[in-house]
Amino acid sequence: MSDKAVVILSGGLDSTTCMAVAADEGFEIYALTFDYGQRHRREVDCARRVAEHFGAREHRIVQLDLLQHIGGSSLTDSRMEIPSGETGEEIPNTYVPGRNLIFLSLAASFAEVVGARAIFIGVSAVDYSGYPDCRPEFIEAVNRVLRVGTRAGTRSEPIEIRTPLIRLSKAETVKLGHRLGAPYHLTTSCYRGGERACGVCDSCRLRLKGFREAGIIDPIPYEERPADLS
Amino acid sequence: MSDKAVVILSGGLDSTTCMAVAADEGFEIYALTFDYGQRHRREVDCARRVAEHFGAREHRIVQLDLLQHIGGSSLTDSRMEIPSGETGEEIPNTYVPGRNLIFLSLAASFAEVVGARAIFIGVSAVDYSGYPDCRPEFIEAVNRVLRVGTRAGTRSEPIEIRTPLIRLSKAETVKLGHRLGAPYHLTTSCYRGGERACGVCDSCRLRLKGFREAGIIDPIPYEERPADLS
């Protein structure tokens, strides 16, 4: 019997690559998608198609209204403006406070219930846009929490968070996914969530830059491809 | 201006005592209650009255359907039986997988948005019913996560989890709350959530035992007070 893994799946490039890694390692996949009122809700539809593509055993789509109620991020608060242009040193306002910890907590609960031993999450500390909860120290700290704070952990069968992309640049991620046959044509990464990806938000720019540097054509359509990335 | 604290408030004995401690220390209180389809939903009404009693600046009541969807605990899964009688060595099936981590993650997000520096949670490692996520090691591990994984943490103003009850027995908790004027008449602890507390579930027994050992009368009405605890 295959080992089970919970894969946090947004429907974007990174989480889809993560799922390709989990599938390649032979895990039985339990996909988990959070619908937290993000503007790029189109991602949820993408997630559905990606989970289906990989034959996930289950796909839970969890409504998380709290992030919307709590606010504080331009991805969930329509009064804030989504930044365009280069990623700087500052933590951008697309940061949802504590988002990855919330996601991992819920994933751990799901993992404990279905008996999964691994949780895959597609964070990267390289092209991480300045989010503090994408760094290895953070993941390591959460792994320690799972060792001491879950029933599985107290039975010496801890649930382990797996981050296959954490040391990869976007280009390396694209190459990895391409090699594993990740269905990038089913994904989207745009923060704006229009019919076609906008091509100019931070997330589109990172993605396009990754494909360009990997020497691979991004199969999804864009409104616009910035001159420096086309 | 007072410092702000998020207080996780169930409407039970422990969280109400916690709120009394936070109020006594002069914090401006942001109450946070999770309505996760627990059978003892009556607690949510109690939480409302307790938050009002303390003049909380805000009281968020967050629907968390996920725990219900994920199942795995007799508190949220109506197909499982709630255990009666003495608490044993085993982790009981009233354990909701990863519950405190989910609660703390969401509290941290709330704290980051309102600018609170402390999160109060009423866990106790003494009468902890065998839950792995009530131990000091667990809280310490989560504090580390908050130091490395939040924006506040990266600015060297970490959000700290405060657990004033962690080394207190139930009797000591009752004495502390009594001294601080905690409104125990507004609380309930019963897992069954009937009109009156049942008096026989694990939670009622722990509470009654605590009051008895503290030499204080529990002000709420019970269906039944077990002979050994009356």
pLDDT digits (tens, 9 = 90+) for A142-186: 999 999 887 776 677 789 999 999 999 999 999 999 999 999 999
CATH of domain B4-190: 3.40.50.620
B100/A contact by beta carbon, under 8 A = yes
The listed range with the strongest mean pLDDT (A97-111, B35-49, B142-156) is A97-111
The answer to whether A188 and A12 are in contact (CB under 8 A) is yes
pLDDT reading at B190 higher than 80: yes
Report the alpha-carbon angle B36-B38-B40, nearest 5. 135
Rounded-to-integer distance, Cα A143 and Cα A99, Å: 16
Task: Tell me which DSSP letter residue A96 carries.
Answer: P
Measure CB to CB from residue B141 to each of A70, A102, A149 and give the nearest one. Answer: A149
pLDDT band (50, 70, 90) for residue A38? low
Strand locations in chain A, DSSP E? 4-8, 28-35, 58-63, 118-120, 160-162
Measure CB to CB from residue B113 to each of A71, A106, A151 and give the nearest one. Answer: A71
Cβ neighbours of A109 in B, within 8 Å:
66-67, 70, 72, 96-99, 101-102
Least confident of A176-180, A191-195, B226-230: B226-230
- Residue B222: which of B195, B203, B202 has the closest Cα? B195
A106/B contact by beta carbon, under 8 A = yes
Position with higher pLDDT, B88 vs A170: A170
Q: Compute the 3-state secondary structure of chain B and give helix, strand, coil in percent, each to the nearest 5.
A: 40, 15, 45
Position with higher pLDDT, B157 vs B79: B157
What is the predicted pLDDT for the residue at A88? 43
Q: What is the dihedral of CA B108, B145, B131, B30, to 10 degrees?
A: -20
Kindly state the tokens that stand for B59.
């009281």
Q: What percent of chain B has pLDDT over 70?
A: 80
Position with higher pLDDT, B84 vs B119: B119
In sequence order, what are the beta bridge partners of B5? B29, B118
The per-residue pLDDT of chain A, averaged, comes to 84
Average pLDDT rounded to a whole number, residues A124-135: 76
Measure CB to CB from residue A105 to each of B62, B102, B150 and give the nearest one. Answer: B102
pTM: 0.85
A89 φ/ψ sector (left φ>0, alpha ψ -120 to 50, else beta): alpha
Give the DSSP H or E segment for A230.
none
Position with higher pLDDT, B171 vs A83: B171
Cβ neighbours of A64 in B, within 8 Å:
66
In sequence order, what are the beta bridge partners of B33? B61
